[in-house]
Amino acid sequence: MKKFGIIILLLSINFVAFSQYDTTPPYLKSKLLPAFKLLSVDSTVFTENVLDSSKQTIFMLFHPECDHCQQQLELILSMPEIAQKAILIMISGEEPLYKNRAFYKKNHLEKYGYIHLGKDFKYFFGGFFQPNTVPVLAFYNKQRTFTIMKRGNAEKQFLLDALNK
């Protein structure tokens, strides 16, 4: 009986040691647009309630001092299709708020009603999208369901195709 107990113990340890760990990123587990809170450049908190349900949502994870992020934003600003069809939520991570303000002013983002820039003060999106580079673009349709993601800069055709998914 003692041997039987030891065998069961060893088998259960073996099972636990070799079990699979789920590596599926959160944005693919639930494809619904996540609830969020971001700190805007005027130090107010905004949530998913700013989203217009008649438009798609694009999350752009960025760093205010990233040249690739600046280039991506310039391409987006040059595309009227995005302004017509989507809301852009620009999300920075650990950077101080003054860097977001400088980026916002430098790019005159106050002129673009479809763009909201915020600091992820709860560090939610880093875990949710698991970026290994910036910019990261995540697209959600009008039904608030995830459609596609691009890590690194996206070309114009990719952006147009993503808007039409």
In a domain? residue 7: no
Q: Which pLDDT belongs to residue 23? A: 86
- Average pLDDT, rounded, for the chain: 91
In a domain? residue 88: yes
Q: What's the pLDDT tens digit per position in 9-62?
A: 555 555 544 556 788 899 999 999 999 999 999 999 999 998 999 999 999 999
In a domain? residue 23: no
Q: What's the pLDDT tens digit per position in 80-97?
A: 999 999 999 999 998 899
In a domain? residue 8: no
Structural domain span for residue 155: 33-163
CA distance 156 to 96: 30
Q: Please, which pLDDT band fits residue 3 given cuts at 50, 70 and 90?
A: low
Is the confidence at residue 106, as pLDDT, over 80? Answer: yes
In a domain? residue 95: yes
Q: What percent of the chain has pLDDT over 70?
A: 88
In a domain? residue 125: yes
Q: Which pLDDT belongs to residue 14? A: 52
**Angle, CA of 153, 156 and 157, to the nearest 5°:** 115
Residue 63: CB atoms within 10 Å: 17
In a domain? residue 3: no
Tell me the mean pLDDT in the region 94-118: 96
CATH number (domain holding residue 131): 3.40.30.10
For the chain, what is the domain count? 1
In a domain? residue 9: no
